[in-house]
Structure 1
Amino acid sequence: MVADTSYGAVDFDGSAAVDTDRVGLSKRFETLFLRGGALAVFAVVFIYFSVATPFFFSVGNIGNVLSQSAIAGVLAIGLTVVLIAGGSNVVKGGIDLSLAANMGLSAATYATLLQAGYGDGVAVGGALAVGVLIGLVNAIAVTVAGIAPLLATLAVMNVVAGLELVLTQNTVIPASSDFLSAFSAYGPLDIPILAYVLVIVTVLATAIVQYTPIGLRLYAVGEFPEAARASGLPVKRFVAGSFLASGLCGGIAGILSVSYLSGSTTGAGEMLLPVVVIALLGSVFSRRLVPTITGTFLSAIFIGCLINGFQLLNISSTLVNGVQGVLILLVVSATTILRRENR
């Protein structure tokens, strides 16, 4: 009897192990399929635009794509840091909906200070300080007041957008300086300086987030908050730090925006959808379907290629918003289903 019982236990354990192996294999296949599908779509779009518009594949146009993607890309990098530290669940996890408004107010601050006669040093400091301050407000609302990031940053977004309207009186504040002219100029290979700025910010953020202990702890805090807390990691500090980093990116994007538009902008809120799309889509370029800085960079290029390709083909740019909405639905649905099956 004992032998039979023992055999039954062995048989049960073996079956469970086989089932687990099958589930793991199926999970890896589904993840690989999603990632491979995303890369295939990326390649197809790139090839199609290259054939339909020969100029698309030129070095100059690729530089223009990077340049046009710089502002949204920098904002998306900030959002990616928040997604990593807070968890990529868009409802309960990390999110920063105030980033576009942050950029708008930072840009308005920069342009206003220049108009008031201050130099670029003061204007840059003011724009970055405003961006970080907005990040600090978000951090306090989430980590101290305990408000869900979705609601906290939505409230901050409206407050910041109102402050921008008060500061600018809903008008464009022109700005010009040698510093701004340098950012709007062309660098080596006749590629816009803004393109190089996006690459530099990406490299720096990647080095910090993906190759340092701080970055590893950010991932631990976002994916396994209870385990991170049990191991002694200051979870709230990392979450707060992610919002500060996001706010800094908002300030940097504000400066880039002033350089690109030669003044402040009254349509900063329109940047929110592209930024969210870029950050969420970036997860499909990672091995484990988690947000990464490099994935966000590739996603920014993909969205930039779509916009640029539509422009070259004289297709209405309003279709881009529809495409971006579809991408959000597909990415969020696919990653949510896969993570649910993984539990």
Structure 2
Amino acid sequence: MPPYFDNANSVTFRQSEKIVALLGRTDTGKTSTFNLMTGLSQPIGNRISSTTCQCFSYSNFIDTPGFGDTRNGESSSSHLSLIDFFVSLSSGIDILFYFVRYGTINSSDLNLFVDIYKQILSTEAYSNSCLIISDYSLPNLEQVNINDSDERKYLLKQLHENDKYSYILEKFNNRVLFIDVSPYDYKRQEMSKEILQNFLQSFRPLNRFNCQNLQDAYRLLRRTQEMETLCFDLKTQVDQLTTENQHLTNLYQKQIRKCKDLEESYQNSIKQIEQIHEQTLLVVETNHISTIEEMTRQEFRIRDEVKQVRQQLEEIEHEMDRSLTFNVVSYIPFIHIVTNIIELNTKRRITQRIRQLLHTKKKGL
């Protein structure tokens, strides 16, 4: 079994023979044809998945992984596997065999062809390419591969009526071979091998397909892969930021609700304070009115007493005028009068003090 090559510079090709690369969708007969031309027995895939996972070479033939492998899809990683090999292949390629199955080509196959030649290789590769239609099971296998034969002309006319075949044939200038590499028919295998060998001997491309032309596509796909990784990382960061933003939004909403509760509590407290203040003012005012009324009554009583004392003083003066001498008993009413006068003055001072205090309290409220 030949080795797998990570670096095609380690591959030594026979310079006298053309370097041939086999391309196409998964399970179109590439590895079977590779085994037929090299005499090897590489594992063969099926219609679901490809067995060939890396490019490898033997006897100037290069087998490549099948495009459209259902295990990997038509992702850029499968393209890069091919480009990594071709870019490092400094000697270039003489012939590119592009494989399709007979009678099964569809829009997906045509899109894959366009993708390979425009995005992976280049349009310059058309002049080095040949269409290989595998699984051609009709009896006239030999006749349809003879130039200018009626069978070949009729078959090519039918193919050109199919816009998908016609597109590829026009790009390849009608270079097409029909082969049948079925493992159950040794004779048709040998016939197919001879058809391929005759074409390799007769076809002389103007120039080798220079694999350096793949550099732009190589950088583009590498950049695409890097961008896909970057986009994935950015998406992860966006998801994290979205989660954090949702968390912050929830916290913000909680704080808003808390602020509203505090504001409502504050308003209730203000109302309660206003009610208490009104009640306090009412009580103070009521007490003040009661105090003033009581003081007014006391003032009236004091005035009455003063009036009585004055009357008594007047009577004493009259008595003194009538009598030049006094006895001890006459001093008793006088002492009583003096006492009342002192009490009256004291009550007046108390009244003034109370009024000053009430006036001060009223200003403070």
Normalising TM by the smaller chain, what interval?
under 0.3
Quick check: which one's strand share is greater?
2
Q: TM-score, normalising length from structure 1? A: 0.20
Greater relative CO, 1 or 2 (CA 8 Å, sep 6+): 1
* Higher CA-based Rg: 2
Q: TM-score, normalising length from structure 2? A: 0.19
Quick check: which one's helix share is greater?
1
